[in-house]
Structure 1
Amino acid sequence: NTVIKCKAAIAWEPKKPLSIEEVEVAPPKAHEVRIKIVATGICRTDEHVISGAMTTPFPILLGHEAAGVVESIGAGVTSVRPGDKVIPLFAPQCGECRSCRSSKGSLCIKNDLAAPCGLITDGTTRFTCRGKPVHHFLTTSTFTEYTVVDESAVVKIDAAAPLEKVCLISCGFSTGYGAAVRTAQVEPGSTCAVFGLGGVGLSTVMGCKAAGASRIIAVDINKDKFAKAKMLGATDFVNPQDYKKPVQEVLVEMTGGEGVDYSFEVIGHTETMMAALASCHMSCGTSVMVGVPPSASQITLDPMLLFTGRTWKGSVFGGWKSKESVPKLVADYMGNNINLDALITHTMPFDRINEGFDLLNQGKRLNSLFINLVCKYFPLNYPPNIEIGTYMQ
């Protein structure tokens, strides 16, 4: 294997546009895989790094929602071969750590989310630009024509799958859909509230519907999102700006004073996390954090909110064990059992990636509780293209 020179979008420092550069991508070492990226997405978590809300080392090669084709493999790799269609996994699955072995856990110890170091498993990087090492992001780094990942962070998928669609399964869709069907385990006939109607929020709505929820309350300050939410299964719609009282009080009143069975915060704001918790039933309600909170954010809460019996859970990648679940979710898409197409809104060339982030950020902070976004999604064909669709937080 040799070094590959290709195009990539580099973040040299916070609060600056990405720079399209020529990078050198080293060959994979033992138990590593080099992937030709065919489709990748713009995600709110990537924007958190650019804005400085999420602390990572710089320079860094962002991107973590993608699909591609294996270009080469290192010694000892057995699960994929050159030519395989694959999805890189920002939530790896090593199969050996306690989380991977547990039926309750899903966040593998090889993740780079909890305390990002920006390095591959052996503590080094495979990217060089202008003679300087460039950090990896969330074990994937997909804003590039080629990337290198640990074998635990990639999985083979159906060779017939359209990569420009199923790349959504590598983050946005799986995160929201799984929050409902796997983390919360929504039951038929239940009442759910989804805070935030970006792509992940809409995917959460889809998950609630698939689980048989009888009532799905969509909460957003952008009423223009309600039509898409209705199409995907939402039954009720709340714009907090239409009320003088806190939104949790509105939801409790809408449910006969009881609160919802399940609430999902798909924004990443501590204020809405608290509102979602308070909106669910005081004794048997469950609230799930799905949106990624900014680094160093803190929550202060009245302990009675939990003492009475509520359950408060977090959900990374929808609670899926990634290597086991991603191929099955791709198969569900191929069988027309899930709708990814509804999450795509725009297409543009790769060299306009910064314009994609501008679309993501249009109307970003509309008040202290909600972020409104139109976001994501772009395939790298050669020359690369970008598709931007509704997305996360």
Structure 2
Amino acid sequence: MGTKGKVIKCKAAVAWEAGKPLCIEEVEVAPPKAHEVRVQIIATAVCHSDHHPIDPKAEETFLPVILGHEGAGIVESVGPGVTGFKPGDKVIPLYTPQCKKCKLCLSPHTNFCEKLNLTKSPLLDQELMEDKSSRFTCKGKPIYHFFGTSTFSQYTVVSDKNLAKIDDDANLERVCLLGCGFSTGYGAALNTAKVTPGSTCAVFGLGGVGRLSAIMGCKVAGASRIIAIDINSEKFTKAKALGATDCLNPRDLDKRVQEVIIEMTNGGVDFALDCAGGSEAMRAALDCVRVGWGSCTLIGVAMGDKGLTISPLELIMGRTINGSSFGGWKSVDSVPKLVADYKNKKFDLDALVTHTLPFDKINEAFDLLHQGKSIRTVLIF
């Protein structure tokens, strides 16, 4: 008996309260409506952004919610009007949609889409489907979606504009990382910062795939010197294996890290990428870029942080500052190409997965992340 058109009962991790562990529950997943796709998630990774909605510091959030946005799976069924997907297709859900029709999608200058409510934080958008209802129910209560993906569920429903079809032979336990972490850091170096051959780079924060993939992006772009900065020196071995030439721990220095970088590079780096997101790291990243043409790209987000205050003089002196979301990739178009690049060994996702656990151990995966003991943990249903 098939499941098309029927409610599916399955396992999911539900966040009922901020600051509390996720609860493994049986949830009901409704069939997809028009232009929606129901996906069986095979593998999902755990990202820092998955913790933001349940962080007690969060100013606004939607609870209860099924989190998760780095997943890969197989199409179970499609709703009316869906033409680009069929049952059995391997896919990656995307928190950055691409409708290919709006003014933003048609512009080469951005990877945003008007499907997103750009007046809100992306962390708080796509908490419901386009008809403003949820496809998840648990214990008789509707459950919010997250990022339009909700990959912490064995089955999820996504818009057909938030989904990329990938090669049938793709390794889902690895390419799930392309849903956020790897694509974000790698693309920030290549697409947003536009790191140039022979340049010098500084990457702040090595806490997750996004950070180490920024180093990988700098290396692929041809940077001659890549300085990795983190307060956990245990991450330096991996950073050097992936392309870092120098590593600095600010806690081991007798002066500010930006001052050390300026001395090391005789005036500052050409490109700095801040993947940590805190005001101190953002300040250091901007300070360490060279006067005249230095570029600072902000990638990370720190909940409850006071942000960065900038003097006009800092930019008048030729420095530039920008931000990057999902690495600047046009999601539906680019993710299948990134899958192909992984298959062709252009980059190594295997090196970024430090732990593989059964889905039931999702809270252990979060513990490993917060303790700095993992780069990425992949959960298998």
TM-score between the two structures when normalised by the length of structure 1:
0.92
Q: Give the AA of the match of 1:147.
A: T
Matched residues in 2 for 1:134 and 1:30: separation?
A: 20
Q: For 1:305-344, what aligned pairs fall within 5 Å after superposition?
A: 305-344=314-353
Conserved 8 A contact 2:175-2:339:
yes
Matched residues in 1 for 2:320 and 2:129: separation?
A: 35
Indicate which of 120, 127, 130 corresponds to 2:139.
130
Instruction: Say yes or no: does 1:245 pair with 2:249.
Output: no
CA displacement, residues 305-358 of structure 1 (integer Å, 9 cap, x when unaligned): 112121111100000000010000000011111100000111222111111111
Q: For 1:150-161, what aligned pairs fall within 5 Å after superposition?
A: 150-161=159-170
Could you tell me which runs of 5 or more consecutive residues in structure 2 were left unpaired when the two chains were aligned: none
Matched residues in 2 for 1:230 and 1:346: separation?
A: 20
- 3-state SS of paired residue (1:152): coil
State the Cα distance separating 1:185 from its structure 2 match: 0.9
CA displacement, residues 160-185 of structure 1 (integer Å, 9 cap, x when unaligned): 00100110111111001001011111
State the Cα distance separating 1:116 from its structure 2 match: 2.7
- Alignment CA distance shift 1:204-1:28 (3 Å): same
Q: For 1:49-128, what aligned pairs fall within 5 Å after superposition?
A: 49-54=53-58, 55-111=60-116, 113=122, 115-116=124-125, 118-128=127-137
Q: Give the AA of the match of 2:9.
A: K
- 3-state SS of paired residue (2:219): helix
Conserved 8 A contact 2:54-2:61:
no
CA displacement, residues 212-234 of structure 1 (integer Å, 9 cap, x when unaligned): 00000011111111111111111
Q: Give the AA of the match of 1:304.
A: L
Conserved 8 A contact 1:217-1:237:
yes
- 3-state SS of paired residue (1:345): strand
TM-score between the two structures when normalised by the length of structure 2:
0.94
Instruction: Say yes or no: does 1:192 pair with 2:207.
Output: no
Match of residue 26 from structure 1: 30
CA displacement, residues 347-379 of structure 1 (integer Å, 9 cap, x when unaligned): 2221111111111111xxxxxxxxx56343324
- Alignment CA distance shift 1:129-1:114 (3 Å): closer
CA displacement, residues 264-310 of structure 1 (integer Å, 9 cap, x when unaligned): 01112122111101111122011111112325743222222112121
Instruction: Say yes or no: does 1:172 pair with 2:181.
Output: yes
Conserved 8 A contact 2:43-2:72:
yes
- Alignment CA distance shift 1:250-1:373 (3 Å): farther
Matched residues in 2 for 1:281 and 1:296: separation?
A: 26
- 3-state SS of paired residue (1:16): coil
Conserved 8 A contact 2:278-2:307:
no
Matched residues in 2 for 1:279 and 1:235: separation?
A: 17
Matched residues in 2 for 1:14 and 1:152: separation?
A: 30
- Alignment coverage as a number of residue pairs: 371
Q: Give the AA of the match of 1:282.
A: V
Matched residues in 2 for 1:316 and 1:278: separation?
A: 22
Conserved 8 A contact 1:80-1:155:
no
Q: Give the AA of the match of 2:259.
A: E
Conserved 8 A contact 1:56-1:116:
no
Matched residues in 2 for 1:110 and 1:53: separation?
A: 28
CA displacement, residues 185-232 of structure 1 (integer Å, 9 cap, x when unaligned): 111000000001132111000000000000000111111111111111
Instruction: Say yes or no: does 1:140 pair with 2:144.
Output: no
CA displacement, residues 138-159 of structure 1 (integer Å, 9 cap, x when unaligned): 0100001000000100010010
Could you tell me which runs of 5 or more consecutive residues in structure 1 were left unpaired when the two chains were aligned: 363-371, 385-393
Instruction: Say yes or no: does 1:282 pair with 2:286.
Output: no
Matched residues in 2 for 1:173 and 1:296: separation?
A: 24
Q: Give the AA of the match of 2:24.
A: I
Q: Give the AA of the match of 1:183.
A: T
Indicate which of 262, 272, 275 corresponds to 2:271.
262
Instruction: Say yes or no: does 1:15 pair with 2:19.
Output: yes
Give the share of equivalent positions with the same residue, in percent: 56
State the Cα distance separating 1:50 from its structure 2 match: 2.1
State the Cα distance separating 1:117 from its structure 2 match: 5.5
The alignment's C-alpha RMSD in Å is: 1.4
Conserved 8 A contact 2:202-2:271:
yes
State the Cα distance separating 1:123 from its structure 2 match: 1.1
Matched residues in 2 for 1:375 and 1:20: separation?
A: 23
Matched residues in 1 for 2:114 and 2:132: separation?
A: 14
Q: Give the AA of the match of 2:260.
A: V
Q: Give the AA of the match of 1:11.
A: A
State the Cα distance separating 1:114 from its structure 2 match: 5.7
Match of residue 303 from structure 1: 312
- Alignment CA distance shift 1:146-1:124 (3 Å): same
Match of residue 367 from structure 1: none
